[in-house]
Chain A
Amino acid sequence: MGYAFEEVFAAEFDPLHGYIARRLGVSVADDLTAETFAIAFRRWDQLDPARPVKPWLYGIASNLIRHHWRRERRMLRAYARTGTDPALVDEGISLDRLDAQPKGARLAAALAELRHEEREVLLLHAWAELSDGEIAESLSVPLGTVKSRLSRAREHVRNRLGPTGQVARESLTTVEEQR
């Protein structure tokens, strides 16, 4: 028995919107989430009912998010530099949250330094809560590639945060200059 679009939309719209909003801000999330479901609707006949729909949906979203990687990196760097998260400030969201605290900025710096492919895998794992196999399916890459990217990303974040969550600010500057 196949999936009903309406049911998938009802179940997955909010989580997908939240995932994109955390990466690119609410305004972009409004557009990209709608576009993701528009593409999904057009390709609904191609969906294999025997396979989970969530990786397929996040794969579509990842392809759309990929066009905004510069924006994502810019927002993370701005957060790391100023301590104020543009993703929250642009939407008038209260800063009295974890993200306003120093470790939020340090984590943003660590994420900004990741390669886009590694950040993609890490955030699909942490925010979208996809398994390694589901990430591989959504990104159409081998499972081994997912595991290695995830391992590198986690190691990078762990090293940057350090035992006290401290990240070296100069490392961010170095990466910016190199690019």
Chain B
Amino acid sequence: MTNDDLQLLREFRVGIPAPNAMTRRMAYAYATSGGASGSQPPSHLLGVRGWWSGRRALVLVVVLVALVIAAVAIAGPSLFGFSNHGTRARPNSSERGTLEGQIFKKFGIPTPEATKPSTFKRLASRQGIGIYSARKLKDNSLCFYMGMHWRKGAQSPTVGPHWRTPGQSPGMFRLERGPECSRGPNGGQFALPAGSNFGYGQRASERVSAWLRAHPFPSPARPILDLSMVGAVRSKQLGCSWCSKVVWTDFGILAGVAADGVRSVQVLSLSDCRPVVTVPVINNVYIDAQPPQVAAAFLVARDARGKVIWHSWQLENQYTHVPLKPEKAPQHCGFQKWLWTR
């Protein structure tokens, strides 16, 4: 190969842009949280060194486990539990027009599994939004899906007015999500293994994405599995001076599944950290197809006493490029950063 030819090869696809800061942060969080395996990072990266440190860590773990068990016993419903076993959904040929049928086709549930529809369950269907579960044939792991539930010819469910429905913007917007399966909403190109929680949607010409956590669901570390569709709010809609030119996250659909111990899910606003929407968890499912259009700071889960038992990372958008002004922006809502989900 001549130098010219080598230069040609080096210029091939050179126009692909570098990843943005959000992609880097999400990747780092994913990598250091153990990735798909959920295994622990090396001890030297945790700062745990030597026999004494290891033993102290072990003692600490034992104490924490005892505290968690005691707390769970006092709290009542288990954060490990998931009581909604759903009802069978049969994606047979006569139902190809329904969401169940579409899920089988579009989300790539393995064909042999389609012959065993007993693994495919409808957990709930409210406000035109359906929440489903299925077990993967390969490892029997549980997958969850969210999608709009309507039949051809019927009126589509109403979604937040600032969001486009597929009918309004065909081909531009996917409302179905399945972040717990290795083959997700992108028809098989979605290569993340089960255990990660990554989702994206498309709104107008913008792609939005979020990685929330990688702990197994349900567990105390992950009492909810959020399937919401999130998008961007431009600062001119926020009415705050300090956030000029910043783009923030909002919810188009607020929906997901929750462990038995979760009673409600809330979105805290970015402007004042107050709850802007509270969705009750009924039969382990929460759905709000029309949450208010508000710049969101956190997603939180509350137990029966109203106590926050989980909160997300600070919700942010990958198109945020303008530095924050922390002295004015209530970014953390009182949450300790080290408690943020990993």
Contact = CB atoms under 8 A, between A and B. Distances in A.
Contacts of A26: 16-17, 19
Interface stretch (B24-32, B114-122, B150-158, B256-264): B24-32
B15 A126 contact: no
B26 A34 contact: yes
Contacts of A88: 13, 15-16
B140 interface: no
Nearest to A92: B205
Contact of A37 (B1, B14, B17, B31): B31
B139 interface: no
Nearest to A5: B45
B190 A31 contact: yes
Nearest to A150: B1
A13 B20 CA distance: 11
A107 B26 CA distance: 34
Given A13-B19, A88-B13, A98-B11, A157 B189 contact: no
Contacts of B26: 34
Contact of B191 (A9, A32, A85): A32
A137 interface: no
A149 interface: no
A108 B9 CA distance: 9
Interface residues on B, range: 35 or more
B39 interface: yes
Contact of A35 (B36, B42, B44): B36
A58 B137 CA distance: 31
B186 A85 contact: no
Interface in A66-121: 67-68, 71, 85, 87-88, 91-94, 97-99, 103-104, 107-108, 111
Interface string A4-17: 01000100011001
B26 to A, nearest CB: 7
B2 interface: yes
A18 B27 contact: no
B18 interface: yes
Interface of B: 1-2, 5-6, 8-19, 23-24, 26-28, 30-32, 34-37, 39, 41-42, 44-45, 186, 189-193, 198, 205, 209
